[in-house]
Structures are given as structure tokens and as C-alpha cells.
Amino acid sequence: MRAPSSDLPLVLDEVSLRVGATTLLDRVSLRITPGAPTLIVGPNGSGKTSLLRLCMGLVGPSEGHVFWGGREVSAPARRAFVFQRPVMLRRSAAANVDYALGQAGVPRAERPARIAELLGRVGLADLAERPARRLSGGEQQRLAVARALARNPEILFLDEPTASLDPAATRALEDIVLTAAQSGIKIVMSTHDLGQVRRLAGDVIFMVRGAVRERSLVIDFLDDPVTPEAAAFIRGDLVL
């Protein structure tokens, strides 16, 4: 059988994104390659979510070009997205995953084993029959990750998935993310938590006002930032 095309490297070439008179992304150029997680940081309104949505293909650029594995047009079959506040279907946790598997084209006969594997992977095996909307916030976020993993993605985008979680739920989700990364899935994730950056990131993209101000390895970014804006952000100062 022919091997599926890769969506990596993911390349943004002078990409801008505007809605009306508002510029959400301003001439962003990036190259995202396989390897350790890439984390996107910056103050609120810096363009992190817009960048993730554009990388996923949920929106198109107003200017510039996006290439997935060298192709400017690519179906998102090998990409998955976890939103900050995922919507749970009005059915059980297992049925939520079953729906995602169906959308991914997995034959019905293969789904029970895959559902069990995915729920076990995110620590929800014992809650398979619980209504998804009765799960805690952390459990719902883990279920959202399971649904994303049902697509067997090459790239997994996560938009501040732990923003509203307590420390225990945050650690549980981080463990799942790290395990996914170790399995070969490229993680691209936005966060406001610099501790999380230190725990998870291989490299960091720092954004301000829709533009990339800095891109570096995590150690370099946290311990020796290049730009004054990054240094201020790391100190906890307001960056406008």
C-alpha cells in the first residue's frame, strides 16, 4: 500500500490573517518539524488561537501561504484539534469516541477495541458509560484528547487545554500529551503557563500583537530571552 502523505514540515510563509480592519496575524513565517512539542506563548490577544486555527486549516490566510508537507492544499485527515472548551456530545464517553472513530472512517467492527484502547490511554476506561456532560472539566478535556487521537493524527493542535483545570487535572493531561509526543505525534500547543512550557516544550514560539517575536529552544527562551518583550513576559510583567 502507498504510504500516506506527511503534513510535516508545516510551513507558514509571510502569513497574515485579518477580520475586517483587525489584524489577527501579521506576516508570520514559521517552519514546524517533527520532534518534541512546540509550545506557543504570549499575552492574551497575541494571536495564539488564530495561529493554531490557521495551522489546522480551519481558516485560510488573508495573505501569504501555508504548506503541509510541501502542499498548499491538504485535507486535514492527519491533523486534529483540541479546543480550550470542547463541546461534549449528549451521549456517553464511549459513544463520543465512537462518533469520532466513525468520522475518521474506522470500520464499525473495529471500533469497540479502539474505544477501549483510547479511553484507557486517557485514563477514562472506568467511565466509558458515563454521560460525557457529567464528567469533570479535566475528564472532559481528556475525553476531547481521546476523540482527537481517534483520528490517528500526525499533528495534534491543543489550544490552552489546561487553562481552567486544577493542578491534578493539569498533570494528568500533561502526561497524556507527553505520551502522545513520545509516540511520534507532533504536538503544537498554546499555553499561558510558563511552568508548563518548561515541563513540556522542546521549542517555544513567542507572540505579541499577532506577530512572532521569538522562536527558540525552551531553555534558551526561559533562561536567556532575546527580545525585551519576551524578557518582560517571563518576569510576569504586562506586555501590551
What's the pLDDT at 190?
98
- Say whether pLDDT at 218 is over 50: yes
Q: What is the pLDDT of residues 47-87, one digit of tens each?
A: 999 999 999 999 999 999 999 999 998 888 899 999 999 99
Torsion of CA 57, 60, 64, 70, to 10 degrees: 30
What's the pLDDT at 130?
98
What's the pLDDT at 161?
96
Q: Give the strand pairing for 155-159 and 10-19.
A: unpaired
Q: Given pLDDT bands bounded at 50, 70 and 90, which one contains residue 185?
A: very high
Contact (Cβ atoms closer than 8 angstroms) between residue 71 and residue 5: yes
Domains and CATH numbers, the chain: 10-235 (3.40.50.300)
Give the whole-angstrom CA distance, residue 93 versus residue 25: 36
DSSP 170-191: HHHHHHHHHHHHHTTPEEEEE-
What's the pLDDT at 1?
39
Q: Give whole-number Cα distances, 208 to 32, 54, 141, 232, in Å.
A: 19, 17, 27, 12
By percentage, how much of the chain surpasses pLDDT 90?
94
Helix (H) or strand (E) holding 232: helix 228-235
The whole model's pTM is what? 0.95
Q: What is the pLDDT of residues 138-173, one digit of tens each?
A: 999 999 999 999 999 999 999 999 998 999 999 999
C-alpha cell at 208: 505579541
